[in-house]
Chain A
Amino acid sequence: MKLPIYMDNHSTTPCDPRVLEAMLPYFTEKFGNAASRNHSFGWEAEEAVDQARKQIARLIHADPKELVFTSGATESDNLALKGVVEMYREKGDHIITSSTEHRAVIDTAKALEKKGVNVTFLPVDKTGMVNPDDVRQAITDKTILISIMLANNEIGTINPIKEIGKIAKEKGVLFHCDATQGVGKIPVDVQEMGIDLMSFTAHKIYGPKGVGALYVRRKAPRVRLVPLIDGGGHERGMRSGTLPVPLIVGFGKACELCEQEMAVESERIRRMRDRLQEGIMSALEEVYLNGHPTERLPGNLNLSFAFVEGEALLMGVKEIALSSGSACTSATLEPSYVLRALGVGSDLAHSSIRFGLGRFNTEEEVEYTINRIVQAVEHLREMSPLYEMAKEGIDLKSVQWAAH
């Protein structure tokens, strides 16, 4: 087993060697511009892009023509929200989203709010799920867009997208889904789910960083967008700029691999994740699962270790790459807004760790991680005044803390 161990696959994933191999020729000998219509270099590049479009479209059950390439999911989210709002401004000025969306959606919605758009941020239940009835009730005759994520990046909770899509159809409101964490990990079907716009990206599915896509429905309804970037009119005019052919080829290959291997791979990852959860929770008391117990991404595990601060815990296992919901490094000292939206107390939000298992993790790494986490938590609880007080039977909630 090699150290350090990478277990932060929600953040990004390594490029699969098969993906890299597919990309390499497009940096050097096949370097053409896919928009060059007058010579073989251009045709070759265009062909490669078309092939990638097919591979990507197949994974999400879309038509290849419905994909708009972007620089990544953040740009896709921006294009979806801002592009729709600007295009359909005459129809209405209200959009609906949720409080646990990625910052790329929340901050975009807030930017639109400043420009006079009304935004409803729906709450989530304690597992992090959006209630479709809340979506239905929030819709007014001014609503032009619903934007709800497929799976959450911190807690992995999977939203009832199909039901929300149905409501959107019924009410004639466009439905955008940020599926960045879900595509390639769980089955996604834009037809069945009733999705009109969908953001996703290559680097979360073992492809390269720097390329993403926005699915934009062409039929029933035909979705139109005002572009963020003007120029040569690439991507049906919705996103100008020379296509990064090598990245797109890699994105295509990554999607093809996911399509072929998802069923087996997800099961393997889920088993490792369950073992990780069971191994840690059976060895330590007062460990809490954040997120939905079952409706969750197979590689996701988000735990709060009471009486221990998350960043200190990460420091104790620094040969394992993990992520913390604690915000001790941020200027605001505010812990994860996602966990807060679930109703997790600030104390337990500061104590949270996200494990993100992926394609290249092994069972041996999982066992190693269990041991190291248990060790580190015990070490920190030994020096935690909160643990000591809890052991003495003091109710920590009843203490008058001097907040700072």
Chain B
Amino acid sequence: MAYSDKVIDHYNNPRNVGSFRKDEEGVGTGIVGAPECGDVMKLQIKVENDTIVDAKFKTFGCGSAIASSSLATEWLKGKTLEEASKIKNTDIVQELNLPPVKIHCSVLAEDAIKAALNDYKKKTEATKQDKEQPATTSS
């Protein structure tokens, strides 16, 4: 199957490969997929004042899966949490010219974004609670 130039570019020069420490302040981590299914994406965001200031990914999967997650990190940077939650898999499909058999890669990337956002929200809510109720720290 022939890949689009954009997929090839992301594959050869993936943007923002890497990891933040999961426990770092302001970091949200989303891990989606399963090795048995042939793709696993780890997508992380770093948030300051409700804005994503940095994003990183690591992906086990085909070229389209790598490109989808690489593109997602590019798009996330500079977006507010609200804006980030509106990124749709169809936007990724369009940008990368993914064929029908590869649409699941873009779905996975959208899931990874959502998972990272949720993780960040959970973490910040937990810390807020901790601050309000310092007595019950380890809950």
Instruction: Tell me whether A404 is interfacial, beta carbon within 8 Å.
Output: yes
Residues of chain A within 8 A (CB-CB) of B31 are 385
Bound together, the chains give a CA A329 to CA B42 distance in angstroms of 21
Q: Does A402 contact B (CB under 8 A)?
A: yes
Q: Considering the chains assembled together, what is the distance between the CA atoms of A309 and B37 in angstroms?
A: 10
Identify which of B3, B35, B63 contacts A346 (C-beta below 8 A).
B35
A388 CA to B59 CA in the complex, in Å? 10
B38 interfacial by beta-carbon distance below 8 Å: yes
Task: A402 to B31: give the CA distance in the assembly, Å.
Answer: 9
Question: What's the least CB distance linking B127 to chain A, in Å?
Answer: 24
Instruction: Decide: A401 near B33, CB < 8 A? Known: A383-B66, A386-B40.
Output: yes
Query: Nearest-CB distance from B70 to chain A (Å)?
Result: 9
Kindly report which residue of chain A lies nearest to residue B17, judged by CB atoms: A383
Roughly how many angstroms separate A309 CA and B62 CA in the complex, as a whole number? 6
- Binary interface encoding of chain B residues 54-65 relative to chain A, with 1 for a CB under 8 A from any of its CBs, else 0: 000111111111
Is A371 part of the contact surface with B, judged by Cβ < 8 Å?
A: no
Q: Any chain B CB within 8 A of the CB of A210? A: no
Chain A residues in 8 Å Cβ range of B64: 328
- Contacting residues, chain B, for A329 (C-beta < 8 A): 1, 62, 101
Could you show 16 A-B contacts with beta carbons less than 8 Å apart? A309-B60, A315-B3, A315-B62, A315-B63, A316-B11, A328-B39, A328-B61, A328-B65, A329-B62, A350-B35, A350-B38, A385-B60, A402-B33, A403-B36, A404-B37, A404-B107
A1 in contact (CB, < 8 A): no
Measured between beta carbons, the chain B residues less than 8 angstroms from A315 are 3, 8, 11, 62-63
In the A-B complex, the 10 residue pairs with the smallest Cβ-Cβ separation, listed nearest first, are: A401-B34, A347-B35, A346-B36, A385-B42, A350-B38, A385-B58, A328-B62, A311-B62, A315-B63, A403-B34
User: Which of A40-48, A70-78, A330-338 lies at the binding interface?
Assistant: A330-338
Q: Which residue of A is nearest B101, CB measured? A: A329
B-contact bits for A356-396, CB 8 A (1 contact / 0 none): 00000000000000000000000000111111100000001
Asked if B26 CB lies within 8 Å of chain A CBs, one says: no
* B41, chain A: closest CB distance, angstroms: 7
Decide if A312 is an interface residue (CB 8 Å cutoff). yes
**A192→B108 CA distance, assembly (Å):** 55
Measured CB to CB, the residues of A under 8 A from B are 307-309, 311-312, 315-316, 326-331, 333, 335, 345-347, 350, 382-388, 396, 401-404
Judge whether B59 and A383 touch: CB under 8 Å: yes
Q: Which of B34, B57, B62 contacts A326 (CB 8 A)?
A: B62
B39–A309 contact, CB under 8 A?
A: yes
Bitwise, B64-105 to A at CB < 8 A (1) or not (0) is 111000000000000000000000000000000000010010
CB distance from A11 to the nearest CB of B (A): 15
Residues of A within 8 Å of B1, CB to CB, are 329
Interface 1/0 per residue, B10-38 and A, CB below 8 Å? 01001001010000000000011111111
A315-B11, A329-B1, A330-B101 in contact; A386/B34 too (CB < 8 A)? Answer: no
Chain B binding site: helix, strand, loop or mixed by DSSP?
mixed
A327 near B58: Cβ-Cβ < 8 Å: no
Q: Measured between C-beta atoms, what is the minimum distance from B9 to chain A in Å?
A: 12
Whether B38 contacts A385 by the Cβ 8 Å rule is no
> Shortest CB–CB separation between residue A222 and chain B, in angstroms?
48
- Minimum CB distance partner of B11 in chain A: A315
Residue in chain B with minimal CB distance to A331: B101
Chain A residues with CB under 8 A of B58: 383-385, 388
- The answer on a CB contact under 8 Å between B60 and A328 is no
Q: What is the minimal beta-carbon distance from A390 to any residue of chain B, in angstroms?
A: 11
CB A103 to nearest CB in B, in angstroms, measures 19
By a CB distance below 8 angstroms, the chain B residues around A345 are 36
Asked whether B3 lies within 8 Å of A327 as measured between CB atoms, the reply is no
Residues of B with C-beta under 8 A to A403: 34, 36-37
Beyond A309-B62, A385-B60, 13 additional contacts (C-beta under 8 Å) are: A307-B60, A309-B60, A309-B61, A312-B61, A312-B62, A312-B65, A316-B11, A327-B38, A328-B62, A350-B35, A383-B59, A385-B40, A385-B58
How far apart are the CA atoms of A62 and B58 in the complex, in Å?
A: 57
Cβ–Cβ < 8 Å partners of A401 in chain B:
33-36, 40
CB proximity of A350 to chain B, nearest CB, Å:
4
Distance to closest chain A CB from B16 (angstroms) = 10
The residue from A312, A333, A335, A350 contacting B63, defined by CB atoms under 8 A apart: A312
